[in-house]
Amino acid sequence: MELWPAVDILEGRAVRLFQGDFAQKHDYGDPLDRARALVDDGAERLHVVDLDAAREGSGRNRSIIAAIASAVAVPIEASGGVRQDRDIDELLGAGVARVVLGTAALEDPDFLARAAERHPQRVVLGLDYRQGDDGELEAASRGWLRVSGRTVHAVLAEAAPLPLAAVVVTAIERDGTLRGPDVGGLADLLAATELPLVASGGVGDREDLVALAALRGPPPGRALAGVIVGTALLNESMTISEATEACARSG
């Protein structure tokens, strides 16, 4: 299970949101400094999110993402506001290893399919979800501000044939809370798709990572492909080396 330390960017600053609420944020300073510090501490890859772009659709922080990709010698996964071919081309051209499509994938599935075929294994589907009153996992869009009207299971079934690098699934209600990942929901999603899944939201300590690394789904032995960790690393609840070691365990 790969560790993807997160750097979320809002108005040019590295931040973490609580449950996806833009009004509840903690500032962690300059995003380029944060990215360099994570890599210096041993991060082997980074998940970078442009929150302004996710909310508004504008790539106002794209120059910062390009600067991070240029400054660190690890793969960068970029997310937020990727809604046109030119957004993908710009990010890949800036040195980003793979690009996450969230809102655009939900609102225009054909665009996701075209992007994946055009850039095989370099496009990631981003599925941010909340649990509905009926227990269904409902996909959200527009920077977590809008419910898409589609279930995560339906989106995964539609995306199954595509040459995607991965699917990032984020439990919005746990994101930034440190209260633990949605293990039950992730186990259900592992059983629902054979696409590589990357978990996001709620990781608070190394035991959470050990629990995620131990998850298995059909076919027998299939595990999560990775996990995104933000707050727990930024506030030093655990180190990169501790997190990496936990991700390598199988329970």
The total domain count for the chain is: 1
* CATH at 209: 3.20.20.70
Q: What is the pLDDT, as a whole number, of residue 154?
A: 94
- Residue 144 confidence (pLDDT) above 60: no
Of 4, 1, 78, 74, nearest in space to 232 by CA: 4
**Which string of DSSP letters, residue by residue, matches 187-230?**
HHHHHH--S-EEEES---SHHHHHHHHH--BTTTTB--SEEEE-
Q: Which one from 52, 87, 128, 208 is the annotated catalytic residue?
A: 128
Q: Each residue of 7-36: pLDDT tens digit?
A: 999 999 999 888 777 888 899 999 999 999
Share the mean pLDDT of the chain. Answer: 91
Three-state DSSP class for residue 138: strand
Q: What is the pLDDT, as a whole number, of residue 142?
A: 58
Q: Answer whether 225's CB lies under 8 Å from 198's CB.
A: yes
Q: What is the pLDDT, as a whole number, of residue 148?
A: 55
- Residue 146 confidence (pLDDT) above 80: no
Position with higher pLDDT, 251 vs 81: 81
Q: What is the pLDDT, as a whole number, of residue 33?
A: 97
30 is catalytic: no
Q: Each residue of 53-100: pLDDT tens digit?
A: 888 777 789 999 999 999 999 999 999 989 999 999 999 999 999 999
Q: How far is CA 51 from the centre of its chain?
A: 12
Q: Which one from 8, 52, 175, 182 is the annotated catalytic residue?
A: 8
Domain that holds residue 125: 2-247
Residue environment code for 4-31, b if the CB has 16+ CB neighbours within 10 A, otherwise e: bbbbbbbeebbbbbebbebeebeebeeb
Q: What is the pLDDT, as a whole number, of residue 235?
A: 86
- Residue 138 confidence (pLDDT) above 90: no
Q: How far is CA 7 from CA 25, 51, 149, 249, in A?
A: 13, 10, 28, 24
Q: What is the pLDDT, as a whole number, of residue 249?
A: 79
Confidence grade of residue 177 (pLDDT, cut at 50, 70, 90): confident
Strand 226-229, strand 166-171: pairing: unpaired
Q: What is the pLDDT, as a whole number, of residue 195?
A: 96
- Residue 215 confidence (pLDDT) above 90: yes
- Residue 242 confidence (pLDDT) above 80: yes
> Which residues, in sequence order, are CB contacts of 102 under 8 Å at separation 6+?
54, 79, 80, 82, 125, 126, 127, 128, 141
33 is catalytic: no
Q: What is the pLDDT, as a whole number, of residue 108?
A: 94
pTM of the model: 0.93
Q: What is the pLDDT, as a whole number, of residue 140?
A: 82
**Which string of DSSP letters, residue by residue, matches 23-82?**
EEEEE---HHHHHHHHHHTT-S-EEEEEHHHHHHS--TTHHHHHHHHHH-SS-EEEES--
